[in-house]
Amino acid sequence: MAIFDIDTPPGYSEPPNSIPSMGTNVHNGLIVIGTIGVISLLFTSTLLGFMTWRMLNLNHYYTSSYSRNQSVILIYQLILADSIQASSFIISLYWASQRQIAGPKAACFTQGFLVQLGDVASASFVLAIAAQTVYHVIFIRTLSYGTFVSCIVALWGLSLLLSFLAPIIGGRFVFLTNGVWCWISREHKPLGIALRYAWVFIVELFAILCYGASFYYVYRGCVSGSRNALTAMLAYAIVYTTLSLPIAVCRMAAMAQVNVPENIFLFAGALFTCSGWVDCLLYALTRRSVLFDEPEVRLVRHQKQKHAVQARNSLRKSKSVQRYPSACTLDNPNSHSSRGIQMERTVKVESIRGRPDLETGVHYASVEALKLQSRSLQSRSH
């Protein structure tokens, strides 16, 4: 920790880069944020442990491998990002205990880095959930498992890159007090916009477009059985947008030299810290829709429904076919029944256009009945 105390440039220990002495409102607000961070970390850690255990032990209970269910894996990554974010806000309890936020401290650098990593990773996997939902709903397909894993690794790589670029470009004092906790300092406004807020707004816009297209496709009747899963996945984007937008607006306003009251910052921060436990609760409420509406299952069900409709249509057509009645008992030596008429063989008869004595259409008659009709027609002609 000493490396952040020596050779500190002048002004870094003074406002706005630090808060030498915090008021009662800020102190109480940081306690609330830190407490919510602890709750979110407990929820996310518990859910991650539970999901990991299921991946290792309960694959045989599901229509496909639980550990290979792409929706489950993406939600798992989102919860992991939420746990990183919750860890960053727990440091607020340390600042509350110190009654100050010292910009050039190791705790400030750690909080700033974890905030950046957690925010970017959360945005990345909300974006991935939206894209995966569109691909499943509209195309009824999934990526190959190898391609899917490569995308997961790429998203974590991007999140780490955007987090490490901050100290690489801005230096070791890039994470200072910004608002009522540590993040990229106000001195590096363009860096903060490029590494976080541009990405956040792109994610929110893309999620709106993706889910809008998916709902249009589903509610126009293209795929049945997808609405529950689509609504469940949409809920994650709604939660992310609702909880992250207030703090994003506050940050952008502060960067534009607008004086944002501390209470507004604290409320937005507390709201944002709720992401972890809210996503966990959301998974508990919607996991059945996610698990039992997999695209492979939906595709099979869709095909079965299509075949059932075709079978019903064929049955209706067969019921509407006319059966030509026979007028007498068949004198067939191979027949084993002496009662009524036994249809041993039938032939398809198509009437000839222009013949008024025959009905138009297709009829089925026994061979003997056909012979009788032929004799009758011959006798009429004579």
pLDDT, tens only, 92-107: 999 999 898 887 788 8
pLDDT-derived band at 36 (thresholds 50, 70, 90) equals: very high
As a whole number of Å, the CA-based R_g of the chain is 35
Instruction: Count Cα neighbours of 146 within 13 Å in the Cβ-side half-sphere.
Output: 0
Spell out the domain ranges in the chain.
2-306, 323-381
pLDDT, tens only, 69-78: 888 899 999 9
SS3 letters for 145-181? Answer: HHHHHHHHHHHHHHHHHHHHHHHHHHCCCCEEEECCE
Q: Which residues pair with 184 in a beta bridge?
A: 175
C-alpha to C-alpha distance for 260 and 10, rounded to whole angstroms:
25
pLDDT score at 380: 62
pLDDT, tens only, 97-133: 989 888 778 888 999 999 999 999 999 999 898 888 8
**Maximum mean pLDDT: which of 149-158, 165-174, 210-219:** 149-158
Answer whether 264's CB lies under 8 Å from 250's CB.
yes
Q: Which of 282, 242, 272, 239 is nearest to 89 (CA)?
A: 272
pTM of the model: 0.71
- The SS3 assignment for 30 reads helix
Answer whether 350's CB lies under 8 Å from 362's CB.
yes
More confident residue, 84 or 11: 84
Cβ partners under 8 Å of residue 180, min gap 6: 19, 26, 29, 30, 92, 101, 262, 265, 266, 269
pLDDT, tens only, 258-281: 788 888 889 999 999 999 999 999
Average pLDDT, stretch 121-148? 85
The class level of CATH for 2-306 reads mainly alpha
CA distance from start to end of the chain? 120
pLDDT score at 250: 84
More confident residue, 187 or 344: 187
CB atoms within 10 A of CB 357: 10
pLDDT, tens only, 321-344: 444 444 444 444 444 444 444 444
pLDDT score at 244: 86
Q: What angle do CA 40, 42, 48 make, to 5 degrees?
A: 100
pLDDT score at 367: 56
Q: What is the DSSP letter of 64?
A: S
